[in-house]
Structure 1
Amino acid sequence: MDQQDGVFNCFLADETETVAMGSKLSSCIHDGAVIFLHGDLGAGKTTLTRGVVQGFGHTGKVKSPTYTLVEPYELDSQNVYHFDLYRLADPEELEFMGIRDYFENNSVCLIEWPEKGAGMLAQADLEITMEYVDNARRITIMANSQSGKTIINKLKND
């Protein structure tokens, strides 16, 4: 684990640890957040998102919104929106779907392939990069705002 200010690193051995990390991350978010998820196909972005959504109390299935672009989870404790922009042809499409409405003050927006929505997305509080390391995954979480730093500090102290 890296103790650099505003950065959190660790290794995740498998899917169970990835879901657990997502759940742990959700317990550190109290005022909403915009989270960009980076990584190759199959790196664990959707699995991590499943942990976040379940951490906020969702009990059903968590699927990747590859074709719908967004999957909303309006929960008692939190509105969580999972975006997958992999198939987005033009960032302008996000304007037509009302992207700005999703970035409410208290919502959590998890965005896979955020580079595809350049210029249309709110600034990320956290940028998460997931990468393969042998049979495990390395996760790096970087803060881009004061809110992001607060979340990382909570994550480090849990």
Structure 2
Amino acid sequence: MEITYTQNEISEVAEHILTASASNIFLLYGEMGVGKTTLIKEIVKQLGVLELSGSPSFSIVNEYEAKDSVIYHFDFYRISKIEEAYDIGLEDYFFSGNYIFIEWPEKINELLPENANSIYIMKNSNGSRTLKLTSVK
């Protein structure tokens, strides 16, 4: 699935992503400032999270309480070695059955599960974004 959108259309984009995805694990790729965190915030809002915080850049993971579940949002931008992901027990999160969103997944390539959805976001010259979703569906 490929979508070009503006910030005003992010709710519809989040809805399309949730509908088109077979897995509850999402890997978000894109340059700094392209809108990965903004998109994740909209998706988790649609999953029933009422209180959001910013990108987990400084804590590596944010945990959001939804109505009937927990959602995990990882940001691996600041990790310098793969052992840091092992140290937080990342593999246990993958088998939790909860929604998981990962920014900068390329930093932990060797740990990523095969059943994850990949989302690539690119910023266009007119300010819009183009998103490509590769789902395991």
TM-score range, shorter chain: 0.7 to 0.9
The RMSD of aligned alpha carbons is 1.9
TM-score (norm 2): 0.88
Alignment match of 2:121 (pick from 121, 127, 130): 130
Residues 85, 108 of structure 2: 8 Å contact kept: yes
Q: Distance in 2 between matches of 1:61 and 1:76?
A: 14
Higher relative contact order (CA 8 A, sep 6+): 2
Q: Match of 1:61?
A: 52
Separation (CA, whole Å) in 2 of partners of 1:48 and 1:39: 12
Aligned residues: 136
Contact kept? 1:22, 1:50, Cα under 8 Å: no
Distance 1:82 1:20 in 2: 21
1:117-156 → structure 2 map (5 Å cutoff):
117-134=108-125, 135-143=127-135, 148-149=136-137
> Does 2:38 align with 1:42?
no
Runs of 4+ in 1 over 4 A off after TM superposition: none
The aligned counterpart of 2:66 is 75
Cα distance between partner residues in 1 of 2:25 and 2:53? 18
CA deviations over 1:69-98 (Å, ceiling 9, x no partner): 110113223321111100011011111111
1: CA distance, partners of 2:116 / 2:3:
19
The gaps in structure 1 that reach 5 residues or longer are: 1-7, 150-158
Supply the AA of the counterpart residue of 1:61.
L
SS at match of 2:84: helix
Letter in 2 for 1:84: D
Post-superposition Cα deviations, 1:89-132, rounded to whole Å, max 9, x if no partner, equal 10111111111121135211111100111222323521100001
% same residue: 28
Q: Residues 84-103 of structure 1: matches in 2 within 5 Å?
A: 84-103=75-94
Give the match for residue 5 of structure 2.
12
The TM-score normalised by the length of structure 1 is 0.77
Pairwise CA distance, 1:23: 4.1
Structure 2 spans left out of the alignment, 5+ residues? none
